[in-house]
Amino acid sequence: MPGDSDTAFNPALNGPVEQHQPPQVFDAYQSTRLRGPRNNLIITPRGLAERTAPVYGHHNLGREDNDLTLQHAGTPLGQKIVIAGQIRTTDGQPVPNALVELWQANASGRYTHKKDQHAAPLDPNFSGAGRTLTDAQGYYCFITIAPGAYPWGNHFNGWRPAHIHFSVLGAAFSQRLVTQMYFPGDPLLAIDPIYMANPDRRVRELMIARYDRRFDIPGQALGYRFDMFLGPHGTPLE
């Protein structure tokens, strides 16, 4: 894994930030009107489980869990990509042995899920889910296929930009992050209410991966770096 000495910690957040996490109810993202809490959250004391659990071992992971292109007999359709990065806390400490999971649509913009009735074809050689553990320095790596954009019913002619869902579970249940990763230069970002829910552009940019040739597999796959930060001022929740 290439080092990150050329990358300042959390560089997007130099200066004051008006609002770091997206609001629980954002009218442009219509389903939040029904499922978003409208009362203040009730803070409960943290018990031992929230501070020390869960614990994962490498024996729980399959050999190909982090390579979504090898999980079936055939080769999936689409552009092969590598996504790699580091998981850190908001004070800059790496998070080793964090469970990192991803799920995504296929190259045509369709999920392998019975509720996804998008007319795009399914790919019998791509399930769209993987997982891995970070190493001692908090680094992770996946090999997958670039997802396609897809229409959704939030508003007229609404399309979700290409994205990948991530779940990170660190050293305790309190270190949990569920977010989305987007690709640089996507024209759909400016009209996507999920991405635009946070008013601060610098915070939104924490959800955009960057092309990084150090992660390329020459002649086979393009490389992207996506670092994630755990904590109240870290990577925004989806």
Q: Is residue 236 part of a domain?
A: no
H or E segment to which residue 79 belongs: none
Distances (CA, A) of 209 to 43, 55, 57, 171: 33, 28, 28, 24
195 domain-assigned:
yes
Catalytic, 113? Answer no
| Residue pLDDT, tens place only, 168-182 | 998 777 678 999 999
Catalytic residue among 150, 182, 195, 224: 150
Is 163 catalytic? The answer is: yes
Residue 9: pLDDT over 50:
no
Q: Using pLDDT thresholds of 50, 70 and 90, give the confidence band for residue 75.
A: very high
Count how many domains the chain has: 1
Contact by Cβ (8 Å): 81, 70:
no
Rounded to two decimals, what is the model's pTM?
0.85
Do the domain assignments include residue 53?
A: no
Portion of the chain with pLDDT greater than 90, in percent: 59
Q: Clarify whether 111 is annotated catalytic.
A: yes
3-state secondary structure of 238: coil
- CATH number of residue 142's parent domain: 2.60.130.10
- How confident is the model over 229-235, as a mean pLDDT? 85
237 or 17: whose pLDDT is higher? Answer: 237
Range of the domain at 202: 64-230
For residue 100, the tally of other CB atoms under 10 A from its CB is: 25
Q: How does residue 70 score in pLDDT terms, banded at 50, 70 and 90? A: very high
Summarize pLDDT for 142-168 with one digit per residue, the tens: 999 999 999 998 889 999 999 999 999
Of 163, 182, 195, 225, which is the active-site residue?
163
Whether 214 sits among the annotated catalytic residues: the reply is: no
The residue length of the chain stands at 238
Q: Are 210 and 181 in contact (CB under 8 A)?
A: no
Q: Is residue 178 part of a domain?
A: yes
Q: Of residues 165, 182, 195, 225, which has the active-site annotation?
A: 165
- Please give, one letter per residue, the 3-state secondary structure of 18-76: CCCCCCCCCCCCCCHHHHCCCCCCCCCCCCHHHHHCCCCCHHHCCCCCCECCCCCCCCC
Residue 202 located in a structural domain: yes
Q: By mean pLDDT, which of 17-21, 51-55, 89-93, 106-110 is the weakest?
A: 51-55
Choose, from 20, 29, 110, 111, the residue flagged as catalytic: 111
- Residue 31 located in a structural domain: no
pLDDT bucket at 49, cuts 50 / 70 / 90: low
Distance between alpha carbon 218 and the CA centroid of its chain, in Å? Answer: 24
pLDDT exceeds cutoff 50 at 136: yes
Catalytic residue among 160, 195, 204, 224: 160
Q: Which residue has the higher pLDDT, 9 or 218?
A: 218
> Which amino acid makes up residue 22?
P
5 has pLDDT over 60: no
Q: Is the pLDDT of residue 185 over 50?
A: yes
What whole-number distance in Å separates Cα of residue 192 and Cα of residue 182? 11
Q: Answer yes or no: is 134 within a domain.
A: yes
Say how far apart CA 68 and CA 142 lie, in whole Å: 8
Q: Average model confidence (pLDDT) for the chain?
A: 86
Which is more confidently placed, 185 or 47?
Answer: 185
Strand 158-160 and strand 139-145: the pairing is unpaired
pLDDT exceeds 90 at position 21: no
- 54 upstream amide cis, omega within 30 of 0: yes
User: Does 47 fall in a domain?
Assistant: no
